[in-house]
Amino acid sequence: MLDASRVAGVVSDLLDDDRARRCFAGTNRAEQQRLREQPRTRGRSPLLTLDKARANRESGPVRRPAHSGFTGLRAVQPDRTTLRGIIDWQFFFLAWN
């Protein structure tokens, strides 16, 4: 577990009533407030006025996406054993530990 090292400190703070109220509760409130405000400030740039946005629009013809000519379900031709050999499982195992 990646965050198992944090458990001992949190548990000791929670078991000590005085420390839990002063230290853990205050720290937790501050961290929660920081996390709430984070999405609001991340990558925020000032909005353009409508006139500036219209002046900055994309020029040129609008292209329609290519149509595949097929919708619905399609059976996979190789069997599962063949597909297992094709898939790079490294990324799966990295993501799921």
pLDDT digits (tens, 9 = 90+) for 11-54: 776 777 777 677 777 888 888 888 888 766 666 677 788 999 88
Q: What is the pTM of this model?
A: 0.28
- Contact of 14 with 20, CB cutoff 8 Å: yes
Average confidence score pLDDT of the chain: 78
Interval 63-76 mean pLDDT? 80
Tell me what pLDDT residue 94 has.
80
Q: Domain for residue 80, yes or no?
A: no
Higher confidence at residue 61 or residue 23? Answer: 61
Q: Kindly report the length of the chain.
A: 97
Q: Domain for residue 60, yes or no?
A: no
Interval 88-96 mean pLDDT? 80
Q: Domain for residue 63, yes or no?
A: no
Q: Domain for residue 20, yes or no?
A: yes
Q: Domain for residue 2, yes or no?
A: no
Q: Domain for residue 28, yes or no?
A: yes
Q: Domain for residue 35, yes or no?
A: yes
Tell me what pLDDT residue 12 has.
72
Q: Domain for residue 34, yes or no?
A: yes
* Domains identified in the chain, total number: 1
Cα 82 from Cα 28, distance rounded (Å): 50
For 22, the token pair is 């002063």
Q: Determine the structural domain holding residue 13 and report its residue range.
A: 7-41
Tell me what pLDDT residue 1 has.
47
